[in-house]
Amino acid sequence: MLRFPMANKCQLCKEILSSQKKLVIHEKIKHRNNKIIPHRKLLIQPSLEQITFYQDAFIVLVKKHLGFSRHSIGAKQVSIHAFPKNIFVFLFENEPSFRYNPVQRKYFCFFQGEAGEQRLKQLVNYDNWNMRQDPKLKTIGYVLFMDNESSYRVNFSWAQLEFRENERIFQCGTVTCKFIADSGEFSQEPIISQASNLLQVHSNKNPPSDGPAQKNYNLFYLGYLSNKLIDDYIIIRDVAHK
């Protein structure tokens, strides 16, 4: 009877595989959408101070990657080293997209479209975490969640890095966030001509060379619009109708 190392035992279904490679394949096939964390009871509840510290760090890094020109758009990635595992689990374990890979000791979670954007605002405790504005130039850089063609994901992952030396094992947890950044300009005048679109955001993602108007993005990106502008628009519209 063949005996295989217990290191190749699946933590989820207890099946023992003949190699680490086969264990990885086994998990990908049979436990692809796994949410179970076998060691969950060992993870300590993080303090509010700890959670706030890493929420703020994430917001700062994202905003540093947002710009106001066509050169600022595209795929972006931010990483926070020495990010505690228990904070990642605390923030994301109840999300529908949360996944855990035991053999690779990796955690995953993603947010997509308008619903994903609103949910992340709650999780990081700041409504404007995904945008950066320049009022003087009337430009804005933002994390892209949706446009007129499709929706986009913001992907989070946590992985444990190891370094072995002198019979010691050094470990460090790293969280990585991948997203698409976009930028554009916004115009607040003339208001009377914007009856169908109160405010237009012009994307720099595919800038035209001559003439054609740039793509208009959905109004949910315009949450930063002031109440005063909306009131002014309503007043002008009512006067026009009279």
Checking if the pLDDT of 236 tops 50, the result is no
Band of the pLDDT at 136, cuts 50, 70, 90? Answer: confident
- Inside any domain, residue 1: no
* pLDDT value of residue 29: 67
Residues 23 and 77 in one domain: no
* pLDDT value of residue 225: 37
| pLDDT, mean over the chain | 76
Residues 80 and 169 in one domain: yes
* pLDDT value of residue 127: 96
pLDDT in tens, 76-132: 999 999 999 999 999 999 999 999 988 788 999 999 999 999 999 999 999 999 999
Neighbour-count burial of 196, counting CB atoms closer than 10 A to its CB (0-12 exposed, 13-18 middle, 19+ buried): exposed
Residues 94 and 125 in one domain: yes
Residues 193 and 228 in one domain: yes
Query: How many separate domains does the chain show?
Result: 2
Residues 88 and 205 in one domain: yes
pLDDT in tens, 176-228: 999 999 998 765 543 232 222 323 343 444 443 343 333 333 333 333 333 43
Checking if the pLDDT of 145 tops 80, the result is yes
Residues 118 and 147 in one domain: yes
* pLDDT value of residue 34: 82
Residues 184 and 108 in one domain: yes
- Inside any domain, residue 2: no
Residues 127 and 236 in one domain: yes
Residues 27 and 44 in one domain: no
Containing domain of residue 130, as a range?
39-241
- Inside any domain, residue 69: yes
Residues 50 and 115 in one domain: yes
Residues 162 and 216 in one domain: yes
